[in-house]
Amino acid sequence: MTNRNSTTESQPHESRWLDRLSNEAALAVMAEDQHAAAVAVQSALTEIEAAAEAIVTRLQGDAQSRLFYAGAGTSIRIGVQDGVELTPTFDWPEDRLGFIIAGGEAALMRSVENAEDNAEAAHQEVAAKITASDVLIGLAASGSTPFTCAAVEAAKAKGALTIGIANNANAPLVAKADFGITLLTGAKSVAGSTRMKAGTAQKICLNLISTLVMVRLGRVKQGVMAAMRPTNAKLRQRQQHIDAILNR
């Protein structure tokens, strides 16, 4: 079990210092961390369920409501990865999907200096994009990233439904959101690197939330992607298989 006093910035125990381990041992440590990420998500299922149910209610209640992801660095890249898959997989309308990205879209491909510290930019983005009918999911491993906290705070003030996902206990992001989710992953094998198990836990968490939301919105039937967009040969073949299942 993860020590609650251990944070995403904590130095790992010396027995887990990758630079002092053999290749085999280093890989074993990293693989163990990936398993720990899944365990952290498993421990947060109650919070995840509550957030997903609230999102479904909001999206069902208003045909104009949209789903937004907000964050900086690795966390928003994970959010974008989850969000962009909703359209081809579940035919979620592109105009009902959006992103609040620290540093703008350019930051998805390269680091933008000080972007995560710019709370004012988050307020401006939310003011320009978010309405009271929307949903915003904020992601930050530390749970204290100024940009992400500001985005959640501003969206909530406008009446949007807000979800905060963090990897440290007692994170401000979790406290600011309508629904907070703590994925307690603790120290990573490379201290402070979100792309390690904190990021893995975030991705699993988003997979669970977005998939459950789409299921409850009727876009999955009999275990298949009933609303999938067949945009290439492979998917057209898959669509034939799906149609055969649903028309039995």
- Is 47 an annotated catalytic residue? no
User: If you search the block for the tokens 């440590």, which residue do you land on?
Assistant: 29
Catalytic residue among 116, 120, 125, 153: 116
Q: Which two tokens stand for residue 71?
A: 């964050």
- Is 120 an annotated catalytic residue? no
Catalytic residue among 24, 32, 49, 85: 85
Q: How far, in Å, CA of 183 to CA of 166, rounded? A: 6
**3-class SS letters over 169-199:** CCCHHHHHCCEEEECCCCCCCCCCCCCCHHH
Kindly report the backbone phi and psi dihedral angles of residue 165, in degrees, each rounded to the nearest multiple of 5, phi listed first.
Answer: -120, 120
Q: How far, in Å, CA of 10 to CA of 189, rounded? A: 10
In our burial notation (b when 16+ CB lie closer than 10 A, e otherwise), range 45-63 reads eebbeebbebbbebbeeee
Residues carrying an active site annotation:
85, 116
